């Protein structure tokens, strides 16, 4: 889905009684979060045009250890949004449990930047 269609998709999800709150929350936060993320990477230009970005939303992916991470409203007829542990940089002042923070996966996204690269990301809460 091209990025400029995201606002329309969010509107559709807001009016869909079967939409999961996790997906809706993830979509609403996605654009600002993505822009913040891309600004942290020096290789990307600060002003990436929306027409140059394409999104793919996934319901799951497999980690190298063969575990599955899921972000779907329908996994065996029930919502499934994986809980994960993220090892944090010790230089950041974040409260952790033995260096880990715990989060819920809201979206699994592949971002294609035209003529440059592909990023596979998870948006978490």
Domain ranges, residue 88: 3-124
pLDDT in single tens digits along all 125 residues of the chain: 666 778 888 888 888 877 889 999 998 898 888 878 877 877 666 556 655 778 889 999 999 999 999 999 999 999 999 999 999 988 888 889 999 999 999 999 998 877 678 889 999 99
- The angle subtended at Cα 33 by Cα 29 and Cα 36, nearest 5°, is 155
Number of domains in the chain: 1
Q: Which two tokens stand for residue 94?
A: 């974040």
**Nearest in space to 74 (alpha carbons), one of 3, 11, 8, 22:** 22
* Nearest-angstrom CA–CA distance, 18 and 27: 15
């Amino acid at each position: 889905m091209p990025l400029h269609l995201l606002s329309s998709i969010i509107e559709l999800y807001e009016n869909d009684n079967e939409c999961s709150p996790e997906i809706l929350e993830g979509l609403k936060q996605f654009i600002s979060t993505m822009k913040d993320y891309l600004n942290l990477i020096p290789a990307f230009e600060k002003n990436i045009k929306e027409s140059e970005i394409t999104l793919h939303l996934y319901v799951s992916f497999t980690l190298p250890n063969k575990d599955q991470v899921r972000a779907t409203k329908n996994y065996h007829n029930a919502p499934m949004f994986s809980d994960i542990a993220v090892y944090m940089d010790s230089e950041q002042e974040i409260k952790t449990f033995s260096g880990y923070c715990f989060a819920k996966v809201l979206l699994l996204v592949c971002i294609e930047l035209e003529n440059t690269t592909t990023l596979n990301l998870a948006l978490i809460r």
